[in-house]
Structure 1
Amino acid sequence: MPLLHLLILALIQGITEFLPVSSSGHLILLPGLTGMADQGQAIDVAVHVGTLGAVVAYFWSDVRDAALGTPRALIGKVDTPGARLAALLLIATVPVIVIGVTLKVTGLSDMMRSISVIGWSMLVFGLVLYWADKTGAETKIDADWSLPDAFKMGLWQAVALIPGTSRSGITITGARLLGYTREDGAKLAMLMSIPTILASGVLLGAEVASEANAALLKDAAIGAGFAFVAAFAALALMMRLLKSVSFTPYVVYRVILGVVLLGIAYS
């Protein structure tokens, strides 16, 4: 694959994975709107691995605690902060795994990969994010995350299986409706992405393992590296801006893109 194509894919994935504008929607749109060859699932997995590395690096302290606490969480002991965080992340991941596997098995996931679906998702869920951000209270921080809230945010995250919804965007929407501050709601959404991206990467990786060859592995490594850098920069910028800026700029972008896509789809 040409280096420029890999760079474009990695930048799109890296920048949009953690911003509430839908990375999967942009990746689907790239070949459809530009005429570029579809990158294939192997490269999709690679750039997702790159963004996974970025969120792990950015929230390393929390990730380390959760990783160390996972063995205790798996046996039902949540007597340490790390075990508690691990348990909540596991609970939040259950809905997206169950619904994701169901959509994959039934073929519905492929049926939703269209410009019209992405356009409507961009528009509708962008407006829902705006409403949640403007009306949601700011009475909770990440330390207040509870089992019911983790499961509810997990259900919101599962909605992102609709292309164009944005995993981070819809999860932040759920967090704001539950009363979390912008910054802490975004932090929880980012931490929730780790097991979700890992699970989807394992699922897709198993499907494309038989296609692996030296050239593909090289492209995948380059794509993952570019995506890591882009994702880390985008994540750091967004978390810094949330101290003083709302989600409105992202909503405006979503609405404009949604209207343009719907115009293309129905023209």
Structure 2
Amino acid sequence: MEFFKAILLGIIQGLTEFLPVSSSGHLVIGSELLNFNDPGIAFEVFLHVGTLLAVVIAFRTDLLHMVRSLFSTPAQRKDDAELQRSFLWNIYIILATLPAVFVGLFLKDSIEHFFSNILVTFTMLAVTGCIMLLTTKLKKQKGQINGTRSLWMGVAQAMAILPGLSRSGSTIFTGMALGVHRETAARFSFIMSIPAILGAAVLQVSELVAAPPSSSEMWHVMVGTAASLVSGYFAIILLMRFVRRGQLHWFGYYCLCLSFVGFSWYALQ
């Protein structure tokens, strides 16, 4: 693995993991363009670790409240609305994670072949673009997360295992479509990504143990991890600004343009 490729793929992972443009789709395209189709299990696992750290740092206050609420009593939560909300979010995160767990355990092998078909990636990028454009048609809602809404956002997250279909875009759009306030939907989307990202890394641990990186490869792994952490944190801050301003549709134009360019490039090969 070359040094600059490690940095570039780390930046791609960090930016696209949270921006509604699909990290898996960009990694498929990036690997294709860089002629780098096998970055290695260690590299993939640590890229996920980098983005996981980014979301933990960005939402550390919310996460600390959620952890604190687990050690509170019902009486304490009754007198503290913020504590009660944080406690319920722990339950909702579990509900939102269940669909992804099901897909990861039972459908992973069936879905993996989609990653070798770049046409699937371009198609799903077009789908992502369309749902981002549709966010402008959704009325401004003020609803909160509940059990049903969190479960449906989890279904959207599970579907986003397909390359080119954005996890953040799908989950935020689903939350908004169900009446959740857009900033609340975005915050919940980021936090619900923690068990999903962690689960994706855990599923690859056995392969990592079986084929650990060499000392020279480890340097590139650490560089890529740092790149994904920094770019991931930047992407979170950037997306929250777009969400507050109701400007998610700009990502839709980007995805549609990328999809069009991708199909055109493929047709000329």
* Counterpart Cα distance in 2 of 1:102 and 1:112: 17
* Counterpart Cα distance in 1 of 2:246 and 2:149: 25
**TM-score, length of structure 1 as denominator length:** 0.89
**Residue of structure 1 aligned with 2:110, choices 107, 110, 128:** 107
Amino acid aligned to 2:155: L
Q: Size of the alignment, in residue pairs?
A: 260
**Aligned pair in 2 of structure 1 residues 70, 205: CA closer, same or farther (>3 Å)?**
farther
Deviation at 1:207, TM superposition (A): 2.1
- SS of the residue 1:5 aligns to: helix
**Aligned pair in 2 of structure 1 residues 223, 246: CA closer, same or farther (>3 Å)?**
same
**1:84 alignment partner in structure 2:** 88
* Counterpart Cα distance in 2 of 1:128 and 1:114: 22
* Counterpart Cα distance in 1 of 2:163 and 2:38: 16
**1:263 alignment partner in structure 2:** 264
Unmatched segments (≥5 aa) in structure 1: none
Deviation at 1:189, TM superposition (A): 1.0
* Counterpart Cα distance in 2 of 1:69 and 1:206: 33
**1:137 alignment partner in structure 2:** 139
Deviates more, 1:12-21 or 1:24-33: 24-33
- 1:170-200 residue CA offsets vs partner (Å, 9 max, x unmatched): 1111011112233222111111111110111
- 1:87-119 residue CA offsets vs partner (Å, 9 max, x unmatched): 110110000110122222x43323343210000
- Taking the TM superposition and a 5 Å limit, the aligned residue runs for 1:126-205 are 126-131=129-134, 133-141=135-143, 144-205=144-205
> Contact conserved, 1:70 with 1:87, CA < 8 A, in 2?
no
**Residue of structure 2 aligned with 1:121, choices 121, 124, 129:** 124
- 1:132-173 residue CA offsets vs partner (Å, 9 max, x unmatched): x122232225xx210011101101111101110011111111
**1:215 alignment partner in structure 2:** 216
**Aligned pair in 2 of structure 1 residues 183, 83: CA closer, same or farther (>3 Å)?**
closer
**Aligned pair in 2 of structure 1 residues 26, 61: CA closer, same or farther (>3 Å)?**
same
> Contact conserved, 2:182 with 2:243, CA < 8 A, in 1?
yes
* Counterpart Cα distance in 1 of 2:91 and 2:237: 26
Percent identity (aligned): 31
Unmatched segments (≥5 aa) in structure 2: none
**2:5 alignment partner in structure 1:** 5
- 1:51-108 residue CA offsets vs partner (Å, 9 max, x unmatched): 1101110110111222344578xxxx9984333111110110000110122222x433
Aligned CA RMSD, in angstroms, stands at 2.3
